[in-house]
Structure 1
Amino acid sequence: MADADGVSVRVADERDMPAIAALRRAWLEERTGTAVDDPGFEAAFAQWWRVELPRRTFWVAETGSARSGFTAVGSINVVEIVHMPRPGARGGRIGHVGNAFVLASFADRGVPGALLAAAIEHARTRHYRRLLLAPTAGSAGFYRRAGFVPVGGDLLTLGE
């Protein structure tokens, strides 16, 4: 579903892996202000993706259309953690939000909120007890405004 700025958010699949790898590279380059020369990164990312895909759900924010082509402008993922049951209590599931990134030119266009909303809806659908995340100093306020509260150390939680 596209918002007013023509940005849509959807669950990512195998076809999106190169775009999400490119966003990961852009994340580092925006942080450091310089291009990163690592020709093996994309292959390493692809290997990581294959290992992580069974327990993570990825979302991609994109602009464009089927006719003109799509351009990824942001992504987020949630790792599902299933707790081991113990006598007297059954295990439950929580989600850990990670690797949220939006290109700087789209950060003030509602894209971060749309990606986070997709992750929160996923947590509700999957009946997670809570969502956890470890925000950067710069993103902590954004997550607090979305309802996340401190849970100890640098972690924030939504739920339970």
Structure 2
Amino acid sequence: MDQTELAVLALLAIVEDERRKHHRILWTRQWIRQRDNGRGTIHMLHNELRLQDAVSFRNFARMDEDVFSKLLRVIGSDICRQDTNMRQSIKPSYRLAVTLRFLATGETFQSLGYATRIAPNTLSKIIPETLQSVLNNLENKCIKVMCTFHVFSTNWLR
């Protein structure tokens, strides 16, 4: 290949790269932006089940509302994020609820995303962050964590 052909190929690659960059028009998909407009399971949990049906709230969250509220008070400051000019942050109560739902059901992030109107890539950050906060705040109070298999097997044999 001569220099002209290489220059044309490089130019085509640059144009294609720019076309792909401009293809992404939406920062957040329209259906996800409706999360705080009364749609999605997390909104239903907080605004309907919590107030009207304690048994269903417990079934959904796998804990009573007062336990949920206490846990949220303990970890809320760790999982709270600031709103930006581009979008509102996901509330700590939503973060905790979706994490509990993930633990209770084992659903994929994709499936949870449709139910909660939180993008799967966002869930992949929220859930580990929330679990780490629970561990950090409760490990000395009520969670016993075994560090290695040796420690586990030693304690198990006792």
Same topology, TM > 0.5: no
Larger helix proportion of the pair: 2
TM-score, normalised by the number of residues in structure 1: 0.30
Larger radius of gyration: 2
Larger strand proportion of the pair: 1
TM-score, normalised by the number of residues in structure 2: 0.30
